């Protein structure tokens, strides 16, 4: 006996759609083959570009198939853990293919032509999933962020769609527990090339202070920090992330110890632009940002931390943007996959004065092949 499919699917999706919620180790294709032979090979053939399996080298998609494909509603398939599905996904990637054809959109994006400065959306792109973290303002002008795990609509499409969530969580200076997401709408990203696209969203009434539902489509483009060449990001099932020298990605607390907050780095030349997604003392979403230049020839990058208030998400008005200095942030990279985020705040901008705190952070891996590397 198992729960009705609709309920199972709901539980699965609500787990997966959380902003940094679960870490995913890059899968083990050898164990994946053993699991595939035991559970899948009765119905699926393994051959290059098999039309059913091709492109499904992703544990989330396999989980979705198990819960939505009537013939796959079997106790042994329901019993497979996410880690086992990750191994199976790695095997499918190696034997069938599906390292996603096409472009990788990882990086920081904003309104095309810079016409709407002060809000943006960061993309982490792994396999056929784009994790978007959108930093903007609620109707009162308060810094506010939303997140979206958007799946590619078909193996060859340029469109990615998913639920949009708002998280509430523990305050940044005393992070105990985890963030809690609520679905507030849906979003679609459509890319026309590596650097341009559109972001369409439909937010439910009551979201971000708006009494009415809001739907908008924004033209977006890759943001250029102007501090060096724009990196190019590529997918790899085998990348050793520790060796990466470009840090552009979404990072979170090491081992997922503090699920619910994350920090995104856009990295060009010797500067990192960080967008830190966290919560204020009331548990409301709060983002802070800093442009952090490298300190000499060290592995540290440091800059002034800003809290910005600005134009409400549904009515852009550049005159409303007001960045305020609130402290300092320093990121010290041990290697391409491990760093320390240290920060202090001075008591300005509605934030408490916080003596320096340090967090161990690592890249957030959420979809196989979880090896996006930018160079």
Q: Which residues bind ligand HEC (CB under 6 A)?
A: 39-40, 42-44, 52-53, 56, 61-62, 65, 69, 71-72, 77, 80, 88
Q: Which is nearer to ligand HEC, 50 or 270 (CB)?
A: 50
Closest approach of Cβ 52 to ligand HEC, in Å? 5
Closest approach of Cβ 179 to ligand HEC, in Å? 29
Q: Which is nearer to ligand HEC, 42 or 229 (CB)?
A: 42
Q: Which is nearer to ligand HEC, 62 or 351 (CB)?
A: 62
Closest approach of Cβ 189 to ligand HEC, in Å? 19
Q: Which is nearer to ligand HEC, 24 or 80 (CB)?
A: 80
Dihedral sign from CA coordinates of 48, 49, 53, 57: positive
CA distances from 159 to 90, 219, 289, 305 (A): 23, 14, 28, 34
Closest approach of Cβ 13 to ligand HEC, in Å? 15
Return d(Cα 32, Cα 29) in angstroms, integer: 5
Closest approach of Cβ 129 to ligand HEC, in Å? 14
Write phi, then psi, for 67 (nearest 5 degrees). -90, -10
**Closest C-alpha to 241, from 228, 254, 227:** 254
Closest approach of Cβ 69 to ligand HEC, in Å? 5
Instruction: Label the pairing between strands 214-222 and 196-203.
Output: antiparallel
Q: Which is nearer to ligand HEC, 96 or 108 (CB)?
A: 96
Q: Which is nearer to ligand HEC, 86 or 259 (CB)?
A: 86
Closest approach of Cβ 100 to ligand HEC, in Å? 14
Return d(Cα 84, Cα 59) in angstroms, integer: 9
**Closest C-alpha to 164, from 127, 128, 192, 136:** 136
Give the containing element (helix H, strand E) for 221: strand 214-222
- Per DSSP, helices labelled H in 109-265 are none
CA distances from 41 to 3, 32, 36, 44, 190 (A): 25, 12, 6, 5, 35
Angle value at C-alpha 280, between 324 and 258, nearest 5 degrees: 120
Asked if 340 contacts 323 with a C-beta cutoff of 8 angstroms, the reply is no
Q: Which is nearer to ligand HEC, 80 or 220 (CB)?
A: 80
Q: Which is nearer to ligand HEC, 4 or 71 (CB)?
A: 71
Q: Which is nearer to ligand HEC, 52 or 322 (CB)?
A: 52
Closest approach of Cβ 366 to ligand HEC, in Å? 17
Asked if 132 contacts 148 with a C-beta cutoff of 8 angstroms, the reply is yes
Q: Record the tokens describing residue 272, joined without a space.
A: 């990192």
Closest approach of Cβ 88 to ligand HEC, in Å? 5
Break the chain down into helix, strand, coil percent, rounded to 5.
20, 40, 40
Taking CB positions, which residue lies at the least distance from ligand HEC? 40
Q: Record the tokens describing residue 9, joined without a space.
A: 């699917």
């Amino acid at each position: 006996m198992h729960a009705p499919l609709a309920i199972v699917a709901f539980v699965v999706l609500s787990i997966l759609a959380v902003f940094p919620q679960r870490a995913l180790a890059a899968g083990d294709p050898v164990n994946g083959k053993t699991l595939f032979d035991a559970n899948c090979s009765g119905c699926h053939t393994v051959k290059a570009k098999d039309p059913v399996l091709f492109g499904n080298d992703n544990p989330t998609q396999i989980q979705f198939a198990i819960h939505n494909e009537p013939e796959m509603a079997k106790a042994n398939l329901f019993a497979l853990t996410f880690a086992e599905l990750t191994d199976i996904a790695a095997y499918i990637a190696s034997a069938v293919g599906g390292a996603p054809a096409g472009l990788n959109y990882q990086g920081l994006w904003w309104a095309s032509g810079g016409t709407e400065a002060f809000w943006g959306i960061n993309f982490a792109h792994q396999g056929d999933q784009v994790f978007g973290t959108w930093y903007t303002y609620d109707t009162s002008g308060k810094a506010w962020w939303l997140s979206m795990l958007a799946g590619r609509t078909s193996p060859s499409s340029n469109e990615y769609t998913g639920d949009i969530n708002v998280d509430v969580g523990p305050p940044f200076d005393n992070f105990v527990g985890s963030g809690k997401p609520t679905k507030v709408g849906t979003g679609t990203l459509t890319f026309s090339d590596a650097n341009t696209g559109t972001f369409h969203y439909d937010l439910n009434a009551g979201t971000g202070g708006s009494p009415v539902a809001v739907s908008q489509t924004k033209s977006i483009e890759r943001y250029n920090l102007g501090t060096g060449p724009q990196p190019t990001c590529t997918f790899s099932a085998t990348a050793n992330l520790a060796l990466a020298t470009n840090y552009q990605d979404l990072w979170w607390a090491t081992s997922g110890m503090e699920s619910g907050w994350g920090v995104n780095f856009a990295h060009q030349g010797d500067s990192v632009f960080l967008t830190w997604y966290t919560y204020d003392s009331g548990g409301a979403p709060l983002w802070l940002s800093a442009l952090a230049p490298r300190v000499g020839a060290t592995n540290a990058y440091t800059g002034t931390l800003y809290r910005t208030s600005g134009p409400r998400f549904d009515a852009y008005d550049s005159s409303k943007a007001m960045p305020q200095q609130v402290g300092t942030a320093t990121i010290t990279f041990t290697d391409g996959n491990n760093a320390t985020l240290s920060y202090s705040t001075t008591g300005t901008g509605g934030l408490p004065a916080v003596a320096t705190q340090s967090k161990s952070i690592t890249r957030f891996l959420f979809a196989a092949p979880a090896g996006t590397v930018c160079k």
